[in-house]
Amino acid sequence: MGLEHGPRGLMSAQDSLTELARLVRTAGGWVVGETTQRRDHPDPATYIGSGKLEEVQRAREETGYTLVVFDEQLSPAQQLRLESALKVKVLDRSALILDIFASRARTREASLQVELAQHEYLLPRLRGQWQHLERMEGAIGSRGPGETQLETDRRLIGLRIARLKRQIDDVRRQRALHRRRRERDGVPVVALVGYTNAGKSSLLRAMAGVDVFAADALFATLDPLTRRVGVEGGEAFLATDTVGFIQKLPTQLISAFRATLEELESADLLLHVVDATSPAITAQWATVMQTVQDLGLGEKPMLTVLNKADGLLLPDGTPVAAEADLARVDIVSPAPEGGALLVSATEGWGLAALRRRLAFELFGERVPTFAHESAE
């Protein structure tokens, strides 16, 4: 469920709820209902007002829901009170995204980073889990165990967090060595960035001509993957796929995935891949740009690519059917420079023009600079 309060984020409330529903499905759930509430400020006790809480309680009789997911981050106390009132498990967007990341982690590096983020999310919530004992402080039979267990849990999680950070630091040092080797070789690096499910992995596979895992799913890629891409004139560059961004990305994930995101710092060029068919294209573009700024990469050279062009329509309403149709597509690029290239990674459309543009940006070769160019 969502709450509209104060200044809105980059995405409309309905678009954000639609995305939340897809996150729930990605995690293996099934959405049986949704609701929103407009308030000036969240309720400090239960996030939503008492009337809306009663409405959600009544909805359980009609839908039989077993889980309630909020589109914003809840405080530990709010989550505890909501679970007590609703008698079901309550998650916020951050917890849901962390759960999806945990299910997607395949390598040791990804598993370490996700586990660190989960523990850092859990640590401040331990106190709420033991509040039922703290409220009984001084009562017969309740002195000691609650606080003792709380401190024990905090100490164990603190030790685990410290161990995970040491292991991730080892990963960072190993990645730094690989980056220094690449720099000595003098091969330029292009890092693909973009909103989750924009088609970065599909584009990397299409450009490199090698097998790269790609799926029509949120957060299909957690580990950076680098492949060599050749261009005309015998030159080549390295293209690195990175984890997709999303609005309201948990701060714990950004911190934990620092070792992975450092790959962006050494890139010579950021290739921003945008889903041209998304109804929230402007908000998704702005989210990625804000995340890039937050990572301190705002000054990096960037080229914007509008992917999934095979799903667009021509001005007369007919679907795009061939690469030559790209020149007739009427789409407003969210990139302010207006120089984004239209491509379809799955169909291979626009890739020749993209390679020439990248060759020009990286090696100074002369290529046409207009946006829609068909392969020769």
Q: What are 106-136's pLDDT values in tens digits?
A: 788 888 888 998 998 888 877 555 444 444 4
Residue 200 and residue 84 in one domain: no
Last residue of a domain, one of 86, 101, 116: 101
> What pTM, to 2 d.p., does this model score?
0.82
> How many other C-beta atoms lie within 10 A of the C-beta of residue 320?
21
Residue 23's CATH number = 3.40.50.11060
Last residue of a domain, one of 101, 118, 141: 101
Residue 58 and residue 206 in one domain: no
CB 277 within 8 A of CB 173: no
Residue 110 lies in a domain: no
Residue 239 and residue 94 in one domain: no
Residue 301 and residue 204 in one domain: yes
Q: What is the pLDDT of residue 314?
A: 93
Rg (C-alpha) for the chain, rounded Å, is: 24
Last residue of a domain, one of 55, 78, 101: 101
Residue 223's CATH number = 3.40.50.300
> How many other C-beta atoms lie within 10 A of the C-beta of residue 64?
8
Residue 92 and residue 193 in one domain: no
Phi/psi of residue 251, each to 5°?
-60, -30
Residue 313 lies in a domain: yes
Residue 6 lies in a domain: yes
Of 56-70, 207-221, 311-325, least confident by mean pLDDT is: 207-221
Residue 243 lies in a domain: yes
Q: What are 170-225's pLDDT values in tens digits?
A: 888 887 887 777 777 778 999 999 999 999 989 998 998 766 555 555 666 666 78
Q: How many domains does the chain have?
A: 2
Question: Which residues span the domain enclosing 235?
Answer: 187-363
Residue 11 lies in a domain: yes
CB 296 within 8 A of CB 323: no
Residue 192 and residue 96 in one domain: no
Residue 158 lies in a domain: no
Residue 173 lies in a domain: no
Residue 334 lies in a domain: yes
